[in-house]
Structure 1
Amino acid sequence: MLHKYDIFIRPTKTWRPDTMGKFISLCMIVKNEETVIERCLSSVAQLVDEIVVVDTGSTDKTKELVSKYTTNIYDFEWIDDFSAARNFAASKATSEWILVLDADEYVDEENFKRFISDIKEDNYKYDAYNAKILNFSGDFGEVLVQNYHDRIYKNNGDISYFRKIHEQFKHNNGLDIKFKNSNLIIFHSGYLKHTVNEKDKSNRNKKLIDIEMQSNNKNAFDYFNLGNEYSSIGDVNKALESYIEAYKLKSDIRLSWVSTTLIQIIICLMQLKRFNDALNVIKDAESVYTNSPEILYLKGEIFYLRGQMEDAKEIFQEIVSNPDIYDHVIFRPDLKDQKPHSRLGDIYLYEEDYQNAVYHYTSVLNINKYSEKSINNIVYIFNKFHSDHEIKEFLYRSKLINEKNIKYYVHACFDIGNYNLALSILKEIKEENKLLYQVGLLKKLAVEKKVELIDDIQDLFEYSVVKDLIKANWINTVEIYLLEYLVERDLSIARLIEHFKNNNVLIELKRLLNEETRFDNINGGLFKDSLQILINYKQFSICTNLLKHVNLLDPKEQSQVAGILYSNGFRVESIHLYEKIDWSYLTVQDFINIINSLVQTNANDNAVEISKYAKALYPDDFRFYKFIIENTQDISVYSDNLYEANERFKESKFLDRLNITN
């Protein structure tokens, strides 16, 4: 009988189970997985010959759901050791091969069938196989991370798992295991943000890794995993220390985690703004991983973050133009296509080259139709130049919109104040999206005062409904304020507004919009949000009342208001406000706004002087050096700034070209 503190080890003798013609068994360990277990089992049940599930203490319906797929369900007392549980599960398997999956993973049927066919063709040449794990992370799975992991092995008693966490195969007789990277792809959703938080994975993992680190046989892989856990909790300095130690202790550069470690070192250095150190690591890494898109992408990202737009553009264009060259993805597939296209879109948007920006954001959406950032930017750009009908026709004709992502497009329309575009997009399918359509009508009613719309949205005048929509960021307090003008036109609106009479946010907004109000303090966040919404809705007279209180904001918030005015085309008003603010509070973008305004009025000499001031405050932003170099008439200023730029900004082809001409 298994003692609760024993670590279960597979028999060391050469042993083959009585397979009775069974080829592969699925072995799983589970605990409280009722939300995902059926997705996993339904994807693989018809593809394997046996399912073995070991439960380590579920208190939900996990075992009940598992029983629909197998009777091989075993209890195992959890002893803070994943390997012990996995080895116990393997002891119950009776097929020639064992496949290991977690409950939050699943497979594709056709891919799995090809994988089984390949194993059979190999004719027992290998002891074990690595599978490619595609991890969906972030809020909605928008970030894709891949890694290879040992998941398939011969059920002959020679191989077992070791390590309490991030378990790996070992040969029980100390021999080498013959591995092969298989074509099997396993999809994993366990790193979605809400799942990580819900299961408290970071604390659990850190606890088990700490136990491993206390042992005398800790190795490079232990430090790699420790770095991952420090990274997940945001301790970048300790993560970097751990990754560096892992890289120092590596036994073979060909190990799959080693290249990932190198990338994590670069990312940590970038997070710490040690950009030149990161570039030095990249320079060494490029000589080893010549066809990795990630290494090159991170180089471009450093350029982008430092304002080296030409250098960044060149890098990102190189990646997207040569997918056949940069075909060795280490662990971030999105850095091969989505992210470079997205950054190119950002650069062209910054340069106001809207045609190229649209091309690259659309390229992202052709890969990932759920990229909210790309959706927002596409809608923003189109709204500048095209009619609602033209935008709608393009989106549907390009097959960018589907039933799952339509809410992102609607939200993007609402964010720029174009509820009519949202209504146009929803028109053909308004019954399937009735609530969103009614929200659009409510906004139209609030802004345009079209009382004939009231009968179509009576359902929305329930206070509980509106409160939930405000909480979900579909309706805002400014719209409630605008609805107040209609209280005498409809009783249901009057009743709704009555519920808001003690709402602190609405009370504060009314005070902000009353030019006679005297303040002891002011809600800067509400001020800025309301200003943007009112500009979107072209409520300029109300904006004027609001801006009469701008001097009551602190200098940092005043600069943010100036930025809002500038980005919405009110450049004269923006510059007037900037002139009143202590410039030590201005951001990089604030100075860029001021410089661009001066250039537009041909005041280049003044723009150069301001660039010098900005460069002193923000010496790591290349744009100020570039502007001075390209516009100064003073040879010594030119030479000094070119020298400074060369010292600070390494690996710049833009500077290399300038140096050649000089």
Structure 2
Amino acid sequence: MQPLISLCMIVKNEEKVLEQCLSSVQELADEIIIIDTGSTDGTKEIALKYTEQVFDFQWINDFSAARNEGINKATGKWILILDADEYVKQDEVDSLRNMLNLTETDKPVGIVVDVMNLTGNSLTSTTGFYQSSGTRIFTNGHGIHYENKIHEQVICQDIMAQFKVSFTVFHSGYVTQIAEEKKKSDRNMEIFNELKKTGKKSGPYEDFTIANELAAARKLKESVYYYSKCIKRSKITDPWYSHCCYRLIIIFKILKRYNEAYAYIEKGLQLWGQYTDFHYLKGAVLNEFGMYEQAVKAFETCLAIAEENGKQNKQFWLIDTDTCRLFPFISLAEIAYMRKDIGKTVFFLTKVLQENSKSFIHLYRLTRLLLQSEPPDEISRLLEQIYPQNQPFNCYIVFKVFLELGHELLASKYLDNCKALNLSMEANDMVRYALLTRNEKIASEWLEKLPSNSDSMYSNALIAALASKNPSWIYQYVKDSSQPYYDIGQYVICILEQNQVEQYAGNHQDQLYALIVDLFKLGYFEEFDQLMNLVENEALLNKVADFFYEENLLEIAIQYYSALINQEALSAAGYMNVANLYLSQNEEEEGLMFMQKSIDMDPAIDRIPYLISLLSDTELISAYQDKFADLHAGYNQLPFIKNLNA
């Protein structure tokens, strides 16, 4: 009996992702064809667990040639194409097989499916995905094959009927860790450069793929050229057209070419305003210009579209699912915190974590605020709604955040949960926990397990030395004179041995800052004060003051800010923080005064529009409008700036 579905894949060194792919298709594919183009890791061994049809193929910088090799070996009625870094979900398998069984294969048919491209730093910390689509299933035979050496396309000699089905492929290849390990951009650009030498004409889709590779390689100006070229040569209905517009906006924003970014935002809203993507980008640009009220409205529009379309089971994003809720919630949380509206900040951070529970930084920010207002039992109850403690990752991330915050009671509770699930703990975490619980013996045991000559070993040894008032920790662990922590270690030795100590004027201010902050978080307040009393670097003092402001420890922050103001050493960012603090307490006169001081020092593009939106004095408004026009003349034609100046 002829197989229904033949899965055809090309692979090379895919041992980290192949198992997930093949295990996901066991109930879907009747036949699996693996074309290996030169693996040197365990890829073949994994493949052979699922199929005997694993074939070697000499790589010739031609994806189509490798694809066609697999198709030629397939015997199924239908061909399914997947890459090793893709997988499918089981809940759609039966419906797809039933549909294919009922579809005639006597004529060429291509089936388009959704592809969800995961984004984030690693497979364990994905943040969301953006959507694309492609012909991944087609009838076997009828001359259907692949063409193009890279970003290969399905080609049929006859007219091929195409339709879309409800089936999703998940793709992890653009997760940062995977892309970097596989060096996709280098490989792909090598093939593109070969194609250029042939003189073969390319179409708009090739422009799009070249632009993507250049953008991935951070060659942003070059990518703009190819995205723009693609748009000029494409129709609005082409599936890549909206992606070009979306990516151009992001790149223009990075390059601070806001006029061009906003022009594409307006175009995107005109064409695809029923989706969230371009509303979010509008809010992001307004946010960068300090137009916070308008930015909030744009982000709220995203949430409203998602809610309304969700009720009707309609799609509410066009390209990136994170523009529906995650990104707007993050931005709304940041604006609320800037305004020191802690209630709203907590609300929006909770929403962020409901969308992406793996975001450590937002969990940290939420728990940091909760610890200042809620009892530990209530915090645990709230968190366990998002992080059920029967899952290892949840136990670990919650333990990690309370460890970072230096909360001994809750760190101990969640460490016990980790141990109950037999999780292996990282040495760096256990050293920190030993220092938090004042257990020098355990700290010493775990320090030995840290990588030698690592920053974590040096910084923890310095904390241990200060905490125990014993310089032997430094003599044992911080003895490499070429390392930044060495100078700080020698300085700490002088403090501990009560030698003549002058104010620290060393070059390694970042490392000293990290040490100072860790001492405070771990509750070593005497040692913290000991170091701070010897710091004279104004930039470092400003950085510490900003740390307390960000931690919402406002009384301490104000003490440092006041001292810096008296020394005429407060930074522009510090003045802005003081301004926002006064404004949050409805002390408008003082807030505006400090904001003007910040602008006098650094008239950044977000500060002047923000100030103008708050002023009522027409003369001052006019003066700052002129100031913005002089300093940022290139942005005067942006619609929201023109309205601000009206």
Deviation at 1:365, TM superposition (A): 2.0
* Maintained 8 Å contact 1:500/1:506: no
Deviation at 1:283, TM superposition (A): 0.6
Whichever residue aligns with residue 563 of structure 2, its letter is H
User: Are residue 580 (structure 1) and residue 562 (structure 2) matched?
Assistant: no
Could you tell me how far apart the structure 2 residues matched to 1:619 and 1:358 are? 31
Q: In structure 2, do the counterparts of structure 1 residues 605 and 51 end up closer, same or farther at CA, with 3 Å as the change threshold?
A: closer
Q: Deviations over 1:46-71 (max 9, x none)?
A: 32221111121222332233222222
341, 353, 359: which one aligns with 2:341: 353
Could you tell me how far apart the structure 2 residues matched to 1:506 and 1:467 are? 16
Whichever residue aligns with residue 488 of structure 2, its letter is E
Could you tell me how far apart the structure 1 residues matched to 2:148 and 2:430 are? 59
| 1:54-133 → structure 2 map (5 Å cutoff) | 54-123=35-104, 127-133=109-115
Could you tell me how far apart the structure 2 residues matched to 1:78 and 1:282 are? 42
- TM-score, normalisation: structure 1: 0.84
| 1:254-269 → structure 2 map (5 Å cutoff) | 254-269=237-252
Secondary structure of the residue aligned to 1:46 is coil
Report the more deviating stretch, 413-422 or 518-527.
Answer: 518-527
Unaligned runs of 5+ in 1: 1-19, 488-493
358, 366, 386: which one aligns with 1:378: 366
Could you tell me how far apart the structure 2 residues matched to 1:474 and 1:411 are? 20
Secondary structure of the residue aligned to 1:384 is coil
Q: Percent identity over the alignment?
A: 24
* Maintained 8 Å contact 2:341/2:584: no
357, 368, 379: which one aligns with 1:369: 357
Whichever residue aligns with residue 281 of structure 1, its letter is Y
Instruction: Determine the structure 1 residue equivalent to 2:535.
Output: 550
Q: In structure 2, do the counterparts of structure 1 residues 621 and 578 end up closer, same or farther at CA, with 3 Å as the change threshold?
A: farther
User: Are residue 499 (structure 1) and residue 482 (structure 2) matched?
Assistant: no
Could you tell me how far apart the structure 2 residues matched to 1:429 and 1:416 are? 18
Could you tell me how far apart the structure 1 residues matched to 2:443 and 2:457 are? 18
Could you tell me how far apart the structure 1 residues matched to 2:458 and 2:326 are? 28
Could you tell me how far apart the structure 1 residues matched to 2:437 and 2:137 are? 63
Secondary structure of the residue aligned to 1:322 is helix
Instruction: Determine the structure 2 residue equivalent to 1:155.
Output: 140
Deviation at 1:549, TM superposition (A): 3.3
Could you tell me how far apart the structure 2 residues matched to 1:601 and 1:52 are? 67
* Maintained 8 Å contact 2:459/2:515: no
* Maintained 8 Å contact 1:134/1:185: yes
Q: In structure 2, do the counterparts of structure 1 residues 426 and 539 end up closer, same or farther at CA, with 3 Å as the change threshold?
A: closer
Unaligned runs of 5+ in 2: 630-634
User: Are residue 511 (structure 1) and residue 491 (structure 2) matched?
Assistant: yes
Could you tell me how far apart the structure 2 residues matched to 1:615 and 1:497 are? 44
User: Are residue 220 (structure 1) and residue 200 (structure 2) matched?
Assistant: no
196, 207, 215: which one aligns with 1:231: 215
Q: Deviations over 1:232-282 (max 9, x none)?
A: 1111111111111111111x2212111111101111111111223211111
Instruction: Determine the structure 1 residue equivalent to 2:632.
Output: none
Deviation at 1:445, TM superposition (A): 5.7
Secondary structure of the residue aligned to 1:270 is helix
Could you tell me how far apart the structure 2 residues matched to 1:510 and 1:383 are? 36
* Maintained 8 Å contact 2:112/2:135: yes
User: Are residue 34 (structure 1) and residue 3 (structure 2) matched?
Assistant: no
Could you tell me how far apart the structure 1 residues matched to 2:222 and 2:349 are? 36
Whichever residue aligns with residue 269 of structure 2, its letter is E
Instruction: Determine the structure 2 residue equivalent to 1:3.
Output: none
Instruction: Determine the structure 2 residue equivalent to 1:248.
Output: 232
Could you tell me how far apart the structure 2 residues matched to 1:398 and 1:408 are? 12
Whichever residue aligns with residue 378 of structure 2, its letter is E
Secondary structure of the residue aligned to 1:60 is coil
Q: In structure 2, do the counterparts of structure 1 residues 636 and 463 end up closer, same or farther at CA, with 3 Å as the change threshold?
A: closer
| 1:266-415 → structure 2 map (5 Å cutoff) | 266-323=249-306, 324-325=308-309, 327-399=315-387, 402-415=391-404
Q: Deviations over 1:55-93 (max 9, x none)?
A: 212223322332222222222211100001101111111
Q: In structure 2, do the counterparts of structure 1 residues 237 and 271 end up closer, same or farther at CA, with 3 Å as the change threshold?
A: same
* Maintained 8 Å contact 1:165/1:205: yes
Deviation at 1:540, TM superposition (A): 3.7
Instruction: Determine the structure 1 residue equivalent to 2:126.
Output: 141
* Maintained 8 Å contact 2:63/2:150: yes
Deviation at 1:522, TM superposition (A): 3.7
Instruction: Determine the structure 2 residue equivalent to 1:6.
Output: none
Deviation at 1:651, TM superposition (A): 4.8
Instruction: Determine the structure 1 residue equivalent to 2:405.
Output: 416
Q: In structure 2, do the counterparts of structure 1 residues 126 and 262 end up closer, same or farther at CA, with 3 Å as the change threshold?
A: farther
RMSD (Å) for aligned C-alpha atoms = 3.4
Q: Deviations over 1:97-118 (max 9, x none)?
A: 1001111211112212222333
User: Are residue 527 (structure 1) and residue 512 (structure 2) matched?
Assistant: yes
* Maintained 8 Å contact 1:133/1:148: yes
Deviation at 1:129, TM superposition (A): 1.5
Q: In structure 2, do the counterparts of structure 1 residues 188 and 566 end up closer, same or farther at CA, with 3 Å as the change threshold?
A: closer
Secondary structure of the residue aligned to 1:190 is coil
Instruction: Determine the structure 2 residue equivalent to 1:10.
Output: none
Could you tell me how far apart the structure 1 residues matched to 2:206 and 2:82 are? 22
Secondary structure of the residue aligned to 2:38 is coil
| 1:442-461 → structure 2 map (5 Å cutoff) | 443=432, 446=435, 449=438, 458=442, 461=445
* Maintained 8 Å contact 1:30/1:103: yes
Could you tell me how far apart the structure 2 residues matched to 1:23 and 1:357 are? 53
Deviation at 1:209, TM superposition (A): 1.9
- TM-score, normalisation: structure 2: 0.86
Could you tell me how far apart the structure 1 residues matched to 2:103 and 2:32 are? 24
Deviation at 1:486, TM superposition (A): 7.6
Q: In structure 2, do the counterparts of structure 1 residues 281 and 346 end up closer, same or farther at CA, with 3 Å as the change threshold?
A: same
Q: Deviations over 1:602-632 (max 9, x none)?
A: 9855654553453355545344443355345
Whichever residue aligns with residue 183 of structure 2, its letter is D
Q: Deviations over 1:166-202 (max 9, x none)?
A: 1111223xx5433222222112222222222222211
Could you tell me how far apart the structure 1 residues matched to 2:32 and 2:242 are? 34
Could you tell me how far apart the structure 2 residues matched to 1:197 and 1:96 are? 37
Could you tell me how far apart the structure 2 residues matched to 1:47 and 1:133 are? 17
Secondary structure of the residue aligned to 2:33 is strand
Deviation at 1:400, TM superposition (A): 5.4
Could you tell me how far apart the structure 2 residues matched to 1:448 and 1:50 are? 57
Q: Deviations over 1:151-178 (max 9, x none)?
A: 1111123221111111111223xx5433
Instruction: Determine the structure 2 residue equivalent to 1:476.
Output: 460
User: Are residue 430 (structure 1) and residue 430 (structure 2) matched?
Assistant: no
* Maintained 8 Å contact 1:509/1:526: no
Deviation at 1:289, TM superposition (A): 0.9
* Maintained 8 Å contact 1:44/1:106: yes
Whichever residue aligns with residue 387 of structure 1, its letter is P
Could you tell me how far apart the structure 1 residues matched to 2:43 and 2:535 are? 57
User: Are residue 198 (structure 1) and residue 187 (structure 2) matched?
Assistant: no
- What is the number of residues matched between the two proteins? 618
Could you tell me how far apart the structure 2 residues matched to 1:105 and 1:537 are? 43
Q: In structure 2, do the counterparts of structure 1 residues 339 and 468 end up closer, same or farther at CA, with 3 Å as the change threshold?
A: farther
Q: In structure 2, do the counterparts of structure 1 residues 369 and 444 end up closer, same or farther at CA, with 3 Å as the change threshold?
A: closer
User: Are residue 637 (structure 1) and residue 620 (structure 2) matched?
Assistant: yes
Deviation at 1:535, TM superposition (A): 2.7
